[in-house]
Chain A
Amino acid sequence: MRSALATLGGTLPRPRWRRPEGWTIVTLLIAGVLSLPILVIFAHVFVPASEVWLHLRQTVLQDYVVNSLILMLGVGVGVLLIGVSTAWLVSMCDFPGRRAFEWALLLPLAMPGYIIAYTYTGMLDFAGPVQTQIRDLTGWGYGDYWFPEIRSLSGAIAMLTLVLYPYVYLLSRAAFLEQSICVLEVSRTLGSSPWAGFRRVALPLARPAIITGLSLALMETLADYGTVQYFGIPTFTTGIFRTWFGMADPGAAAQLAALMMTFVLVLIVLERYSRRRARFHHTSARYSRLPRYRLKGWARTGALVACLLPIVLGFVVPSSQLTQWAMKTTHMWLQPQFLGLVWNSVSLAAIAAVLAVFLSLIMAYGKRLESSRTTNAAVRIAGMGYAIPGTVIAVGIMLPFAWVDNTIDSFMRDTFGISTGLLLSGTLVALVFAYCVRFLAVSLNTVEAGLGKIKPSMDDAARSLGSAPRTVLWHVHMPIMRGSILTALLLVFVDILKELPATLILRPFNFNTLAVRAFELASDERLADSASAAMAIVLAGIIPVILISRTISRSRPGHDTPA
């Protein structure tokens, strides 16, 4: 017995891989901090209404609600039509260029709404090349003819539809590809035509995924500030800005944000519900290559046009225009100031992306090692920010940060006679915090998916082969996770680069990023001058498009995914 104990000596008491409670506490802490802005906004529901709020209610509030609703309705119909039809065409039919369309249909995702909006305005307004051409050809003058006004609600619907349909396309395509060919073949043997098979089997099966895509697109619509502001449409986001900056009433802005949150909540519930249902819509596990319908004649031409049009209008035309403008305005970007702008954007986005991925890793491991209702809920709450408009998050951060700054400042002045000024609000800290709140979900999803590839039995296998827990982390987890971590970094980085409203509200005085600069120049009607900054954002935006299309082509059922 003595000798047996001696051989055990010292090495044993450590129980196992799992460490007590530590992860849970950290996970909860992160979730708590990240949900602070949302809680602040919700708290304002109970704050008594101010003068400004009553004024808003009597005058513009109805416009905000109605316009936001019409915008969502229009964009919703638009993205469904384009997204589902193109997804069906490229996944179930065969026609020339189908493989190229598969990824090219994602390209408009690289185009932020406000950039496409002012590009089209530059092309289509009275002084733009299109109308000038018409006048030159016909000899008409001002007022002699009718031309659609791009700076309108329907214009905004068109712009947002063009850049947001990829969400629906992406998810419904994945759903179509996931469907076991068996169910479609069964429907054929039961006498359904291909069209009836689509309508009665494929579409209902894909419905949860389609609705998820739709709710994501609508969240983006609701969150959009640049497009509606540029077109002068009063919606929730522009209203919050007006109340915040114009009327200088943070309380009323927060209450407006709270009202907007009810819309967001509806969308979140819709998305969660349809995601849950999607699990029950999985058919059999046997997949075979989809036999595609070979299109001929008019059907083929129709399919080509249907796939080509969104790409041309949503990406090719605006980016060509931007390139042309950027070529004409070399003085805007062939200068050190532009480099400073790029440096600001890149360094800010990089810092926030690293932080977001770091937090995601902690939370994902927390959930894996100490999976409980608490950690799962914490992870879900921390990932909620993707649904919350940047404007709302910014307001929710400004209020508590300003309060902390004021409290510290007055305390320091009273006791030591020193003014500390702004410590948090109006600094990069606030901005980085906002980005983490808004985009944590992006990195969290990617990191969790990566971690999911490491089965618990791999940990056990490495342990039984003589590796201590730290060695397992280093030799098994790190190499497998590397790709996912890199992807998460890139996705968050690009999202931050494109982000506009929160940056506008929270940026330090005189601190400019590419997005802010592009938007400001465009708002000053210096469209051509803004093109270089916009172009930089679009180019960066192509990176995630490439990443996403690569992931999809790899994860197709029936193909094993190499790590």
Chain B
Amino acid sequence: MADVTNDPMALSADAEAPRVEQESRWVTVRRAFRSAPLTAWFGMVVIVLYIVVAIFAPLIAPYDETEVVGDSFFEPGTLMFTSDTVEDGRAFKKDLTTHFDGVIERLEINSENMRDIFITSDAPEKIFVKKFVDDPEWGITPQQFDSFAGELRTYLAPHDFTEDALELGTDQIGRDTMSRMIYAARNTVGIALVTTILSFTLGSLLGMLAAVVGGWTDNILSRIVDVLMSIPQLIFALLLLTILGANVINMILVIALLDSTRVYRLMRAVGMNIVVMDYVEAAKLRGEGLWWLIRKEILPNALAPLIAEFGLRFCFVFLTIAALSFLGLGIQPPTADWGTMVRDNAQLITFGQPVPLYPAAAIALLTIAVNFVVDWMLHRSSGLKE
């Protein structure tokens, strides 16, 4: 060791590279998974479950999404509407018959005073009779009809839909809730995924373009995004869908466009930090084109925050779709969709029926699961220790 000066490599830090074994990507991934917290595991299991259900929906679901299988449960809202406008006994009778089709064998309304309603069913009691004596006009008010409906439900209870071995019962027109839930996983999650991918492609490409090129390109793009962001998203989406027409394609395009503004902002900010790096300068000075800079130099380094944002954006898109469907401008019936299912069955909650809670719970569970996973990824990518 006397002539150390002649051999600086022996002592320099050059000689002490971190001893990293050439481990495959698979090993790294496996290690990452092993150290994942319980919440992340929960989230991943739930997401995988949803994906499996969505892919194999036709095999898992007992019935088709549009198939009417059970006894229908009338929807008071619809009936109230009818009873309000019905002018004569015949229409009213027809209305009732439609709604109690299959349950009621014979329904008679005294067409003279319209005050006596006779319903025959195959229930043990056989005959249900209700007399309306108060109404001079045609015998029934909406309020009375509500109470009538309640009584009728009690009467019909022995052969209620929930008995049909369809675990979650049927919806307002007798379609199997379970089957519709399963198909909705396919529709809602699928559409949300497509929308999110679309908004990411658009937002991140433009964001990177703004970061790399800068100047006027950046200014124009950013101002457009500012304008789009200044209008409340849901109201803007409603407006656009009303103008363009409510169908799935339009909805995907509108939500993707509005959501891409957020992605643009993120990508531009992340990109700005990467563009100033010396390796990007080196690539520019090498004479590399814009596409190379975006694809090879910037994108790989922006991937971690982008993936995390993807998870969060997916949740938002998904909730927006549910909200739009709930408002009637999203996925249109008879296609099953959790948002629509909540809306259509919302009234049943007043009758002690948990049916609208199931799709709501499905939305909540997936949102939480995705958030858990995203949280874990963010944690990893930001390199936080404890």
Are the chains A and B members of one assembly?
no
Chain B residues close to A by CB (< 8 Å): none
Chain A residues close to B by CB (< 8 Å): none
